Chains A and B, each alone.
Chain A
Amino acid sequence: MVDFLSAYSIQNWLESCPQGYLMNTNYGHGADETEPAFLLENEVLRADAIRSTVQLVVGERCALAASSGLIGAAPDEGSKRFLATQTLDEARHVEIFTHRLYDLGVPKEALEETIRQHANPNLVRFAEILLEKIDRKDFVAGVVGQNIVLEGMAFTVFEMMHALNEPMNPKFAHTLRGTIADERRHVGFGENRIGSLIKEHPEKKAEVERLQRDLSYFMLATFADAFRDTTALDELNRLGQGRLSTAYQGRDLGTMDTHEMESLLGATVLREFETRLGRIGIEYQSPARP
């Protein structure tokens, strides 16, 4: 375990993250990059971007509370130190997505009200279930919920958002690239650390499997709401902005409708869960379909 944790040291983190892919960024993107004019000048697109960015802030606030809460529950100092870097990563994500809300025109004094207004109730419930486990200092369930389920979901969502934004919003795509690199590290730690803990605590398996199933349900419900509520694709088509061909999971997002995108995203996340959970000896549980 010591050898695996040395790969997750703060020294490595300093060299790869702040001194690596975050160099010369400002709130996660290049100082000269801005939100595109067609987005800022169109009320439908701007409102849609605010609504989707609020979900990112809600998810990252949950991740910040969860990773910081796990430090006190971690059974070894190596895990505490890795979680210290993850805590700072999550805080950075909260900060950069909050700043995106400001960039989209949300006044600072209206931030909390905007978040309250748009936060998806299913995502809020997801956060409550996860944080209950962490409040009880349940490290195994907490790491599975945080580093496998939440981070795995974030990783896949960010990848899809990155693919969608890369052709038309380089600034936001840049922001997402940095967060994807962070999430990859967090998921890697979760898989490596939990594998050995599950072997030590086989009695936790059933509870962890139930947690995965419950969290997956609220995740799928969040996706369903998000794709049902979005009006961005229709508005882009109306404007003749033209969605550009962009590849994701071997499919072209530029030709898909929202229902197809939701199905693809949900299937991709669940398939990833199944693979990752299988690697750590946990049996994937299919969630109910919202």
Chain B
Amino acid sequence: MNDPGADIHALEHHEFLERVHSFEFWFQAVEGYLAGTTYGHRPETAESPMSEAERDRLVGVLCTYCVGETAALEGASGLIPIAPDRLAKIFLATQVADEGRHLEVLQHRMRRLGVTDVDGEVTRRASRSLVAFRVRLQGLVEARDWEAALLAQNVILESLEFAVFHHHAQRADAVTAEILGGIIKDERRHMGFGENVLGRRLVDAPHTRRRLQPIKRELDHLMLDTIEHTAGAIGVPLADRARLGRAYLESAARLGFLG
């Protein structure tokens, strides 16, 4: 059994990857925060009172989240065949299960809020920009462009979700906040993988950054537009919306992508 108390950062790089990019590591991580939950929250968590307008706003936001999670599910699964090594494939398989879980808990939340035709609601109300992003991500995956698809999936999309969900969880009703809290913990792991793998690739092949820069700029527009679409509905004051956009941009900036 892996010793949970051992400092994994003290391991040799390959040994670190063997440990961190494994089913066992995933299993131990999610056990910590999913044990005792049903569809992403504790069964005993009570529904907060919600007006009809608040309920409708929340449903609209969840529609956009569902598109993001579907894009992530399709993207992560599509990355597995083009991942360069076994450990990356296994990590991505854990991410596929995470993304599938996110989609399931968000759709379940929509049903609990009274939505009977979830697919129809998502089609009608989700952010158009995020729908466009989903198509673009799938194109990168189908072109077998590992670096660009990984940037789009594990850096750009995960950073957007992390920033938005983090803000939303602070203002959401209790059940939604618990659901988002679990998702955020997963997103942190996914972003770590993207930054680690892509960061090493950029060090080894600096020209890759130049190649990816225009793709990132193109996708940034879609992401910032999605933030704008979502921010009002999750109660982010106008003055704070720029901060939300910056939070999203900071992840990519850590990899040396500016603007």
On A, residues with C-beta under 8 Å from B are: 9-11, 14, 18-19, 22, 26-27, 31, 61, 64-65, 68-69, 71-72, 77, 80-81, 83-85, 87-88, 90-92, 94-95, 98, 108
Contacts and interface: CB of A to CB of B under 8 A. Distances in A.
Interface residues of B, number: 39
B107 A77 contact: yes
A18 to B, nearest CB: 5
B96 interface: yes
Contacts of B34: 14
A84 B39 contact: no
B1 A72 contact: no
Contact of A88 (B14, B38, B39, B97): B97
B86 A85 contact: no
B97 A31 contact: no
A10 B104 contact: yes
Interface of B: 1-2, 14, 18, 22-24, 26-27, 30-31, 34-35, 38-39, 70, 73-74, 77-78, 80-81, 86, 89-90, 92-94, 96-97, 99-101, 103-104, 107, 119, 138, 141
30 contacts: A9-B104, A10-B100, A10-B104, A18-B30, A18-B31, A19-B35, A26-B2, A64-B80, A65-B80, A65-B81, A68-B93, A71-B77, A72-B141, A77-B70, A80-B70, A80-B73, A84-B77, A84-B96, A84-B99, A85-B97, A85-B100, A87-B77, A87-B93, A88-B96, A91-B23, A91-B90, A91-B93, A91-B94, A92-B93, A95-B24
B90 A26 contact: no
A109 B35 CA distance: 36
A253 to B, nearest CB: 30
A115 to B, nearest CB: 10
Contact of B138 (A72, A83, A87, A91): A72
Nearest to B39: A11
Given A71-B74, A77-B70, A91-B89, 12 more contacts: A19-B31, A27-B24, A64-B93, A65-B81, A68-B92, A71-B73, A72-B138, A87-B93, A88-B26, A94-B89, A95-B23, A98-B86
A87 to B, nearest CB: 5
Contact of B97 (A10, A61, A69): A10
Which secondary structure characterizes the binding site on chain B? helix
Contacts of B27: 18, 22
B31 A10 contact: no
Residue in A14, A81, A94 whose Cβ sees the most chain B Cβ within 10 Å: A81
Given A71-B96, A72-B138, A81 B104 contact: yes
Contact of A69 (B73, B77, B138): B77
Contacts of B104: 9-11, 81
Contacts of A64: 80, 89, 93
A53 to B, nearest CB: 15
Given A77-B119, A88-B97, A95 B90 contact: yes
A88 B89 contact: no
A88 B103 contact: no
Residue in B31, B34, B89 whose Cβ sees the most chain A Cβ within 10 Å: B89
Contact of B1 (A26, A83, A108): A26
Nearest to B91: A91
Contacts of B2: 26
- 4 nearest A-B pairs in the assembled complex, by CB-CB distance: A84-B100, A91-B93, A71-B77, A88-B97
Contacts of B107: 77
A87 B86 contact: no
Contact of B38 (A11, A27, A85): A11
Contacts of A81: 73, 100, 103-104
A84 B76 CA distance: 10
B23 A87 contact: no
A195 B203 CA distance: 50
B100 A80 contact: yes
Nearest to B94: A88
A9 B141 CA distance: 26
Contacts of B30: 18
A82 to B, nearest CB: 8
B19 to A, nearest CB: 12
A14 B92 CA distance: 18
A61 B35 CA distance: 29
Contacts of A94: 86, 89-90
A242 B184 CA distance: 55
B11 to A, nearest CB: 13
Contact of A26 (B24, B80, B89, B101): B24
Nearest to A137: B142
Contacts of A9: 104
Given A81-B103, A91-B89, A94-B86, A68 B35 contact: no
Residue in A22, A27, A91 whose Cβ sees the most chain B Cβ within 10 Å: A91
A94 B38 CA distance: 28
A84 B80 contact: no
A87 B97 contact: yes
